[in-house]
Structure 1
Amino acid sequence: MEALDRGVVSVHTDSGNLVSWRWLATDPDDVSFNVYRAGTKVNSSPVTGSTNWFHSGAPSQADYTVRAVVGGVEQADSVHAVQFRTGYKDVPISPPAGGTTPDGVAYTYEANDASVGDLDGDGALDFVLKWNPTNAKDNSQSGYTGNTVIDGIKLDGTRLWRIDLGRNIRSGAHYTQFQVYDYDGDGRAEVAMKTADATVDGTGATIGSASADYRNSSGYVLSGPEYLTMFNGLTGAAMATVDYVPARGTVSSWGDSYGNRVDRFLAGTAYLDGARPSLIMARGYYTRTVIAAWDWRGGAFTRRWTFDTNSSTNTGKGYDGQGSHSLSIGDVDSDGKDEIVYGAMAVDDNGAGLWTTKTGHGDAQHLGDLDPANPGLEYFKVSESTSQPAELYIDPANGQILWQLASCGCDNGRGVAGDIYAGNDGAEVWSASDSYIRDEAGATKGREPSSVNFLSWWDGDTTRELLDGTHIDKYGTSADTRLLTGSDVHSNNSTKATPSLSGDILGDWREEVVWPTTDNTALRIYSTPYETTTRITTLLHDSQYRTALAWQNTAYNQPPHPSFFIGNGMATAPRPLIYTP
């Protein structure tokens, strides 16, 4: 996993600065810390019970470093703190130039989904940002779109490269799923995504034919070659390109003839061998599903396996038509290797079908340690079909449905799982069609929250907060309380109202949220201003959480969950054993 720096942040409030930093998996269990301002220690004794410290009365521009204390010996200075002088940190970004489609429609660009990875190997996370044209389309909508553009950006706003996916990759939430991860263990993240003829990499080189135009009169791309490309995270150069698996073949074989279901793509990253990450690229979920697992080693792609619901091994077993608008990845059977939970079914680490509930497609799902009293992971999902259960709570080791709610007679389009209420042990689950939060047994435990969207560990306790649109709320038994309203920012993906990224990317284990500014000239990062007495290893070193950050941008974005329970009454958080370059 990544060899990270301390990720120190200083968040200014009316009464001083909250300084927080990472407890790395590579640190000793008993490490403590000293906090320095401009070279002068400001804490009276080493910090042991958390990885944050509040400096009362300090100005916003105060410069901080942190020094670990190991065996009574103080270590070298950390990197200097990233300063959140106004409560947030802006990363400058530059929108691509707009254009006009062949049918005369003008478009501009909006910052959309983002991911993180150490692109240059300096120990700090960098951003990879997707720019969507304002005429991006859902697959069900006809019409031309502008090109999708991907930028690699450092925290200071330095743009490392820009990739233009070209006219033969349609723009929209279901078309481009990009993965940012260090797949070969060289200490620098790579960037993988689907490409086509006329894609231009970060060095200006064109993939395939620069003049090819496969768009039909409805704006769909239903012919021409399809590729998978691995890009250099530092330069944006295309390092290798192979045929995308699976090929589209006959468009109608995916469920319709006009180009909707054939181009439903999902992507992720998984530790299929329990040690090194593999790239997961998939196509289809309404009818046929194909999932391809790729290794990137020594500058080349190798396909590890392909799972196809139409294969002789899988056909007729109920794996088809089970995918959701996203996926989840984790070690569901406790064998030390990751599985892919693909909506209402799962695929084992070796590419074999693991189980299927045969309950069909859904819009949201959550895989995590939702019930700390039960060993392993739990899985919660919602269903779109009016003939299927509205909510399902599943044992992901074998697909057993532990409880379910009867169909709502509707498309239950939203569902969430997380410990938002300290009055109940374990996580709560709720959905758009339900009026309550429920526990691990399906019993009602309180009123429904104000939102059914994202989650964020934001304040000082271990229950999780509600992230929706451009605000964060804390659940209460009678009403929710607003903790944060983003200033001059916008959410993404229409009614999904998701941030560009949310997760533990800086500071201690609590989660940052990243929104684009309303004028799309900056990524505005918010980090918690609240102190905590809880000490947890950076979630970036929990492989399930880290891979969840990688797949968060996939289709209908979902929040990340670690492999262990964080919530009210939690046990001491485990210390992950990892290897770094």
Structure 2
Amino acid sequence: MTYPLILLLPQLFLWLGHHLTPTFTRITPDTALGQEQAAPNAPILLHKIPIPNQFLTAHAGLSYGGDIRIGDLTGDGQVDFLVYRAIDNFHDGGGMKPCFIGAFNMDGELVWQKGGGGLQPGRPGPVAIHDLDADGQTEVITLFHQDHADADATSFADVDMLLLDGATGRTERHVHPSVFDRIRGEGADWAHQRILVANLRGRSVPQDIVIKLGPHVLAFDDRFNLLWSYESSWHEYSKIPAYVPAVGDVDADGKDEVNGGYFLLDNDGSVLWAEMLGSNMDSVAIDYWDHPTQKRAFGSGYGH
């Protein structure tokens, strides 16, 4: 009999934000042997890995670490964990302006940390793990709040783009894109900020990023140069594009497109089509469906 490797990540990360014990669950095939199975495919709690105490903060009687990203930061072939928090000054505690990031390993040992303070993000925010410069070493791509700028919650004038060495947290690139100074947002859509790794230039590996900031979609190369920008014409709540876009190669030209639910953008940012297909277009994807070599753009509307 074989036992699957199960990480109870979604349940756990929600748990971290609302309960007093800042731990998550690790289940391994070896330790699963011999455990009585109460129900088919039922998970078994076997081990807890603590978030380092240095990474914890407290608010309203709760102790927590923050939102989580997963990847091999140190290059040892083992998964590591990245916890981050954001300043809380907008809708639902949206995590669009990270101010603390900390890395730790499977043993709960601190690897590195940057910044401080912040609260549990109300939405997953703009932090990603990827080898962006294709040098064989993992980096952390993040937006990061800066105290030097006088900006309100709907402005990005106080936010920079950082590329951090995954193993040490050392800053490899620090840029304030001028486009951030003119971008503003409002309403529920502004609380959803994402960084998506993409291949917009047809490289052998993905070395570009797409950032969604409310109604804005921005594309950058691995040096954080702006490639293009797009602004949706839909701004009314329940009648806005997908909170989280999807990237993928729809036309099989070796370059990714961006599916926003109400629009499909080519790799150069040009609009392939734009149409309001349904209210609350919360979920989108690009993947195979009815053809083994042709990907399709999917959208799921009328949700809430």
Q: Is it true that 1:162 corresponds to 2:113 in the alignment?
A: yes
Q: CA deviation at 1:108?
A: 4.2
Q: Is it true that 1:271 corresponds to 2:199 in the alignment?
A: yes
Q: CA deviation at 1:118?
A: 2.0
Task: Give the counterpart of 1:235 among 143, 152, 168.
Answer: 168
- Alignment-derived partner of residue 252 in structure 2: 334
Task: Give the counterpart of 2:228 among 306, 309, 313.
Answer: 306
Asked if structure 2 preserves the Cα contact closer than 8 Å seen for 1:115 and 1:127, the reply is yes
In structure 2, relative to structure 1, the CA distance for the partners of 1:156 and 1:307 (3 Å cut) is same
State the aligned residue count.
263
| Aligned 1:140-159 pairs, distance under 5 A | 140=91, 148-159=99-110
- Distance, in Å, in 1 between the alignment partners of 2:111 and 2:272 is 41
In structure 2, relative to structure 1, the CA distance for the partners of 1:86 and 1:141 (3 Å cut) is closer
- Alignment-derived partner of residue 91 in structure 1: 49
Q: CA deviation at 1:165?
A: 6.0
Q: Is it true that 1:357 corresponds to 2:275 in the alignment?
A: yes
- Distance, in Å, in 2 between the alignment partners of 1:369 and 1:250 is 34
Q: What is the DSSP-based 3-state SS (H/G/I as helix, E as strand, rest coil) of the residue aligned with 1:187?
A: coil
Q: CA deviation at 1:263?
A: 5.7
- Alignment-derived partner of residue 135 in structure 2: 186
In structure 2, relative to structure 1, the CA distance for the partners of 1:130 and 1:223 (3 Å cut) is closer
- Alignment-derived partner of residue 263 in structure 2: 345
Q: CA deviation at 1:325?
A: 1.0
- Distance, in Å, in 2 between the alignment partners of 1:375 and 1:342 is 22
Asked if structure 2 preserves the Cα contact closer than 8 Å seen for 1:149 and 1:163, the reply is yes
In structure 2, relative to structure 1, the CA distance for the partners of 1:117 and 1:99 (3 Å cut) is closer
Q: CA deviation at 1:99?
A: 5.5
Q: CA deviation at 1:290?
A: 3.3
Asked if structure 2 preserves the Cα contact closer than 8 Å seen for 1:229 and 1:242, the reply is yes
For residues 448-507 of structure 1, the C-alpha deviation after alignment (integer angstroms, 9 at most, x for no partner) is: xxxxxxxxxxxxxxxxxxxxxxxxxxxxxxxxxxxxxxxxxxxxxxxxxxxxxxxxxxxx
Q: CA deviation at 1:183?
A: 0.9
In structure 2, relative to structure 1, the CA distance for the partners of 1:147 and 1:107 (3 Å cut) is farther
Q: What is the DSSP-based 3-state SS (H/G/I as helix, E as strand, rest coil) of the residue aligned with 2:227?
A: strand
- Show structure 1 runs of 5+ residues with no match: 1-15, 21-53, 61-84, 101-105, 199-208, 296-300, 310-318, 384-389, 391-411, 414-581
For residues 231-284 of structure 1, the C-alpha deviation after alignment (integer angstroms, 9 at most, x for no partner) is: 111111222211146325274xx4x5xx76556422200122141321222322
| Aligned 1:17-416 pairs, distance under 5 A | 18=3, 88-94=46-52, 96-98=55-57, 106=60, 108-131=62-85, 139-140=90-91, 148-164=99-115, 171-173=121-123, 176-198=125-147, 209=148, 214=150, 220=153, 222=155, 224-244=157-177, 246-249=179-182, 251=184, 254=185, 256=186, 264-272=192-200, 273-277=202-206, 278-285=208-215, 289-295=216-222, 301-303=223-225, 305-309=227-231, 319-321=232-234, 323-359=241-277, 362-371=281-290, 373=291, 375-383=293-301, 390=302, 412-413=303-304
- Distance, in Å, in 2 between the alignment partners of 1:58 and 1:284 is 47
In structure 2, relative to structure 1, the CA distance for the partners of 1:359 and 1:233 (3 Å cut) is same
What letter matches 1:334 in structure 2? A
What letter matches 1:362 in structure 2? M
In structure 2, relative to structure 1, the CA distance for the partners of 1:262 and 1:183 (3 Å cut) is same
TM-score (ref. length: structure 1): 0.39
What letter matches 1:236 in structure 2? G
Q: CA deviation at 1:110?
A: 3.1
Asked if structure 1 preserves the Cα contact closer than 8 Å seen for 2:98 and 2:143, the reply is no
Asked if structure 2 preserves the Cα contact closer than 8 Å seen for 1:147 and 1:165, the reply is no
Q: What is the DSSP-based 3-state SS (H/G/I as helix, E as strand, rest coil) of the residue aligned with 2:69?
A: strand
- Distance, in Å, in 2 between the alignment partners of 1:132 and 1:109 is 15
Q: More helix per residue: 1 or 2?
A: 2
What letter matches 1:290 in structure 2? V
- Show structure 2 runs of 5+ residues with no match: 6-28, 36-42, 235-239
Q: CA deviation at 1:185?
A: 1.9
358-367 or 185-194: which moved more? 358-367
Asked if structure 1 preserves the Cα contact closer than 8 Å seen for 2:212 and 2:245, the reply is no
Q: Give me the identity figure in percent.
A: 21
TM-score (ref. length: structure 2): 0.69
